[in-house]
Amino acid sequence: MVTAARFAQMEFPLNNAHSPSHPLRVVVIGGGPAGLMAAEVLADAALASALPIQVQVYDAMPSVGRKFLLAGKGGLNLTHSEDAEPFLSRFGERSGSLAPVLKAFGAPQLCAWAEALGVPTFVGSSGRVFPKDMKAAPLLRAWLHRLRASGVQFFMRHRWLGWSGDGALKFATPHGELLVQADAVVLALGGASWSRLGSDGAWVPLLAERGVALAPLQPSNCGFDVAGWTEHFSSRFAGQPFKSVAISFTDSQGQSFGRKGEFVATKGGVEGSLIYAASGLLRDEIAAKGSATFMLDLLPDKSPEQVLAEVKHPRGSRSLSSHLKSRLNLDGIKAAMLYELLDKETINKPAQLAQAIKALPVKLVAARPIDEAISSAGGVKFEALDAHLQFMAGSAEKQALFCAGEMLDWEAPTGGYLLTASMASGRAAGAGVLRHLGFAEAAAA
């Protein structure tokens, strides 16, 4: 085991009092957007005001920002351009908890931050905000360069194991176990989706055994299994998109969702942006009732009356498939979905067929595993934290401990909301550390 004394020789002495030669040590555990933002706030304040603070970032992976880079593979969606009120509403029942951090650092501030890194942004047709080059890697490189220039130290392949008996942080490293004393700690370890990128939820038992109030981690922005595709449908249409459709759903509590968009058929179910947007309601309904059935409108731009008129139009010797394609441009996966989910009697009754085209019931029986999800719900409850995201007395170690990012108990749809809230909470936690250490003026800057 690498002892604390040995670590002190490698870096700097463990602190009894702080001074420029023996600075306060702030440890950030987790090198994703939330952790890097917390480190930036602390390092910038230390640099600007000559504060005696040393910032260290520890991460279990060989490099930081791995999920961030994956998110940018198809074009990095930084945030969303909609007004503050609808933006905040995307966080549902946690809107109130996140309101202060998003007010301090919302979409406009995030765009300005990216511009300051030399990464200009633009607003896409959907209102989503992207870097002009659509890439995550240049932004992350510029960010890390600035953090290192500000004095932030990075320790890779350091997996957090919890605390030692005297309150030191324990890490598993390639060279053995390491003990680190810290004056303050920011936990930003992510949720439990995409564990191969570092977010594996391994922190849950470490906090649970210390009495921290936690909500169970669950998949969010996830796909679902349907009540059994046939082999014919699965083999032929898995991976194909449903374009220009709409779904609607009302759960057993009366909460409703309705939106137009796109989603994709999978080998065993459905996934994609339209499904992700409703995933929280669908997941919770399945948990409560065993299944959830949404209504699929295959032709949302046509009224029920228009669809019925076209279906009832005489088709002569043409097959029903040819008729639907000719009169309604309904073919491919959309037509196949009708044959997949309707019985022959229903398909051959024009009124019932027209009704199904506008409201086809799709029964879901399970959410896909959390490791496949884009993000996770659940985590550290806001009730365990104060207004500055610090764990309240009795909920964790007596050490000054803060929390940020996807570890927190919130969820939001894709569209830039996840990244914005993660980064905003990281900034809030960093400012909270400054206040705790007695640098309130720097925290407010």
Output the DSSP codes for 140-168. Answer: HHHHHHHHHHTT-EEE-S-EEEEE-TTS-
Q: What is the pLDDT of residue 131?
A: 96
Q: What is the pLDDT of residue 393?
A: 67
> How many other CB atoms are found less than 10 A from the CB of residue 59?
26
Q: What is the pLDDT of residue 441?
A: 87
> Is the Cα torsion angle 48, 49, 54, 59 positive or negative in sign?
negative
Q: What is the pLDDT of residue 15?
A: 41
* Residue 265: closest CA among 226, 292, 232: 226
Provide the 8-state DSSP code for 390: B
**Amino acid letter at 349?**
K
Q: What is the pLDDT of residue 71?
A: 84
Q: Are 416 and 225 in contact (CB under 8 A)?
A: no
Helix or strand run (H / E) with residue 114: helix 107-116
**Amino acid letter at 56?**
Q
* Residue 416: closest CA among 73, 37, 129, 143: 129
**What residue spans define the domains of the chain?**
4-219+375-444, 224-367
Q: What is the pLDDT of residue 315?
A: 87
Long-range contacts of 271-278 (CB under 8 A, 24+ apart): 271/222, 271/223, 271/224, 271/368, 272/223, 272/241, 273/414, 274/242, 274/245, 274/247, 275/223, 275/224, 275/247, 276/221, 276/222, 276/374, 276/413, 276/414, 277/413, 277/414, 278/247, 278/249
Q: What is the pLDDT of residue 399?
A: 66
> What dotted CATH number matches 4-219+375-444?
3.50.50.60
Taking 70 as the pLDDT cut, the residues of the chain under it are: 1-21, 393-399
